């Protein structure tokens, strides 16, 4: 089947689209890429929350699908809203998840704990900022926009003592070697965003296209991220909301869920363990504990 993937033009977005392209080609399909520039790519001088959140990376890509210019879109799942146009689109597959954690990067300091008093840390995420402040109230959190490689260049230029990024993106682009020190941040310190480390493959509502993509789905990842997305959806929060939520299937097949969000200007963190056969209701049930 001949298919076109709509993708943003950043290095990470292209890596993700090429990753999906290769796997679909291995299944016998003929795949092309169509690069789309989104509003989120154009506005780099303001925080995401100020200009409307991560959905800004989705709109123009979906328009390409509606116009028939492409049939598939590949997203970082943490950027993909829980509420979308299901009349026209389907989240057809969620491949095996990459590293879920955030990562600390620095040219001067070996770990997050070793940062000096009032160190400047760059992040564009309110979620990361609020949890960093809970861990180290003295840290000075400064906004950091741009693609992954741009953010690392700003660190190397000396604008920050450290920056915090998603581990998955840095790994996918093989950029760990570009920075002197890095530390994977334990999810007890910073709980990741919903869907972090996972890709979402969105398609038009065409059965043949959906069936072409379905073999790339990973059930384990689908279960974990569905719990996370249900949690955020139940609380009526968007992609850019100050909330971290992570579901992890344990060795005994139980599922451990942890979440952090701001409530009445206070950081609230909770954990919950459920049996695997309760996964379809777990996210919403856990969310109600935060209401």
Residues 88 and 46 placed together within one structural domain of the fold: yes
Count: domains in the chain: 2
Q: How distant, in Å, are the alpha carbons of 7, 19, 78, 99, 134 from that of 75?
A: 8, 12, 8, 16, 30
What is d(CA 14, CA 2) in angstroms, rounded to the nearest whole number? 19
Of 145, 165, 184, which residue sits at a domain end? 184
Residues 164 and 249 placed together within one structural domain of the fold: no
The CB density around residue 219, as the number of other CB atoms within 10 Å, is 10
The answer to whether residue 167 sits within a structural domain is yes
Residues 34 and 168 placed together within one structural domain of the fold: no
The answer to whether residue 121 sits within a structural domain is yes
Q: What is the mean pLDDT of the chain?
A: 92
What's the pLDDT at 39? Answer: 60
pLDDT at 193 > cutoff 60 = yes
Residues 205 and 174 placed together within one structural domain of the fold: no
The answer to whether residue 157 sits within a structural domain is yes
Residues 91 and 107 placed together within one structural domain of the fold: no
* SS3 (DSSP) at 277: helix
pLDDT at 119 > cutoff 80 = yes
The answer to whether residue 271 sits within a structural domain is yes
Q: What pLDDT, in 10s, does the model give residues 220-244?
A: 999 999 999 999 999 998 766 789 9
Rounded to 5 degrees, φ, ψ at 131 are -80, -35
Catalytic residue among 41, 45, 79, 138: 79
Residues 84 and 111 placed together within one structural domain of the fold: no
Of residues 245 and 39, more confidence is placed in 245
Residues 74 and 206 placed together within one structural domain of the fold: yes
The answer to whether residue 189 sits within a structural domain is no
| C-alpha atoms less than 13 angstroms from C-alpha of 57 in its C-beta half-sphere | 25
The answer to whether residue 118 sits within a structural domain is yes
The answer to whether residue 83 sits within a structural domain is yes
Q: What pLDDT, in 10s, does the model give residues 138-189?
A: 999 999 988 898 999 999 999 999 999 999 999 999 999 999 999 999 999 9
Q: Does the active-site annotation cover 233?
A: no
The answer to whether residue 152 sits within a structural domain is yes
Q: What pLDDT, in 10s, does the model give residues 39-56?
A: 655 544 555 555 455 456
**Rounded to 5°, angle at Cα 142 from 98 and 38:** 55
Residues 87 and 131 placed together within one structural domain of the fold: no
Q: What pLDDT, in 10s, does the model give residues 60-95?
A: 899 999 999 999 999 999 989 999 999 999 999 999
> pTM of the predicted model, to two decimals?
0.91
Of 149, 184, 219, which residue sits at a domain end? 184
- Domain range holding 35? 2-98+194-288
Residues 92 and 222 placed together within one structural domain of the fold: yes
Residues 179 and 160 placed together within one structural domain of the fold: yes
Of 184, 215, 231, which residue sits at a domain end? 184
Residues 202 and 267 placed together within one structural domain of the fold: yes
**CATH code, 279:** 3.40.190.10
Per-residue tokens: 111: 């770990």
Residues 201 and 91 placed together within one structural domain of the fold: yes
């Amino acid at each position: 089947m001949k298919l076109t993937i709509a993708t943003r033009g950043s290095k990470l977005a292209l890596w993700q689209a090429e990753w999906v392209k290769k796997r679909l080609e291995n299944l016998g399909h003929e795949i092309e890429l169509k690069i789309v520039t989104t509003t989120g790519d154009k506005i780099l001088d303001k925080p995401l929350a100020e200009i409307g959140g991560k959905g800004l990376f989705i709109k123009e890509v979906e328009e390409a699908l509606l116009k028939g210019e492409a049939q598939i879109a590949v997203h970082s799942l943490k950027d993909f809203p829980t509420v979308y146009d299901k009349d026209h689109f389907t989240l057809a597959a969620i491949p095996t998840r990459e590293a879920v954690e955030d990562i600390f990067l620095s040219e001067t300091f070996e770990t997050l704990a070793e940062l000096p008093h009032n160190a400047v840390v760059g992040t564009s995420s309110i979620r990361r900022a609020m949890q960093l402040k809970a861990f180290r109230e003295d840290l000075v959190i400064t906004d950091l926009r741009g693609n992954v490689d741009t953010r690392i260049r700003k660190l190397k230029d000396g604008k920050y003592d450290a920056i915090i990024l998603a581990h998955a993106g840095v790994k996918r682009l093989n950029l760990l070697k570009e920075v002197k020190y890095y530390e994977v941040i334990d999810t007890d310190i910073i709980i990741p965003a919903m869907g972090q480390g996972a890709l979402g493959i969105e398609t038009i509502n065409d059965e043949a296209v959906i069936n072409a993509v379905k073999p790339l789905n990973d059930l384990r990842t689908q279960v974990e991220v569905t719990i996370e997305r249900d949690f955020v959806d139940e609380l009526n929060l968007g992609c850019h909301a100050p909330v971290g939520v992570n579901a992890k299937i344990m060795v005994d097949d139980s599922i451990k869920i942890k979440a952090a969000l701001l409530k009445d200007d206070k950081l609230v963190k909770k954990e919950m363990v459920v049996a695997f056969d309760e996964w379809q209701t777990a996210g919403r049930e856990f969310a109600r504990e935060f209401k």
